[in-house]
């Protein structure tokens, strides 16, 4: 099971990579190559980030994308919510009448866990992910091969 969708992973990788190169215009193909993302899918993610006000898109042969937001205030949750929000449980997924007004104990615990994850993402900024040079290198290296276990710093 993956906690984050591919779109969220791409958004995070792109934002971290762009934050390490502030003020520069980046073409999708360059971002895709650097972050090991599929260019055709990445462009859709970049468009969603632009619509959310996280990036600025510049058209034309010299165009591309620029990180509009300050990495120190841009949360991981904002990136995720811009492309594929975390789904919370608001009603019983089983459709049980007895759980119409409140979640059963099992689904309440699952939703409580999702709330903790959301809070963690809200407290983590893009700057946090690039703030420690050795961690940023390990994170990007781990992301480039699809293995995020090395990114935890353990």
The domain containing residue 71 runs over which residues? 6-86+126-144
Question: Any idea what the CATH number is for the domain that residue 48 is in?
Answer: 1.10.10.10
Strands, E assignment, 78-142: none
Are 10 and 32 within 8 A, CB to CB?
A: no
Number of domains in the chain: 1
Question: Is 106 part of any domain?
Answer: no
pLDDT in tens, the chain (154 residues): 578 899 999 999 999 999 999 989 999 999 999 999 999 999 999 999 999 999 999 998 888 999 999 999 999 999 999 999 988 887 777 777 776 678 888 888 989 999 999 999 999 999 999 865 544 455 555 554 444 434 444 3
Are 149 and 142 within 8 A, CB to CB?
A: yes
Question: Is 107 part of any domain?
Answer: no
The model's pLDDT over 33-59, given as tens digits with 9 standing for 90+, comes to 999 999 999 999 999 999 999 999 999
Question: Is 52 part of any domain?
Answer: yes
Bridge partners, 125 (sequence order): 75
Q: What is the pTM of this model?
A: 0.78
Question: Is 97 part of any domain?
Answer: no
Question: Is 116 part of any domain?
Answer: no
Give 147's contacts (C-beta < 8 A, 6+ positions apart): none
């Amino acid at each position: 099971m993956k906690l984050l969708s591919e779109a969220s992973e791409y958004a995070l990788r792109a934002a971290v990579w762009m934050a390490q190169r502030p003020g520069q215009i980046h073409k999708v193909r360059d971002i895709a190559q650097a972050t090991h993302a599929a260019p055709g899918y990445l462009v859709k993610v970049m468009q969603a980030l632009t619509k959310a006000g996280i990036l600025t898109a510049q058209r034309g042969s010299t165009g591309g994308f620029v990180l509009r937001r300050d990495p120190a205030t841009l949360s991981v949750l904002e990136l995720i919510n811009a492309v594929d929000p975390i789904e919370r449980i608001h009603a019983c997924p089983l459709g049980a009448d007895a759980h119409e007004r409140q979640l059963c104990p099992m689904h309440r615990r699952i939703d409580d866990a999702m709330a903790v994850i959301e809070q963690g993402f809200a407290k983590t900024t893009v700057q946090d992910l690039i703030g420690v040079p050795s961690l940023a290198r390990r994170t990007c290296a781990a992301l480039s091969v699809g293995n995020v276990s090395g990114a935890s710093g353990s």
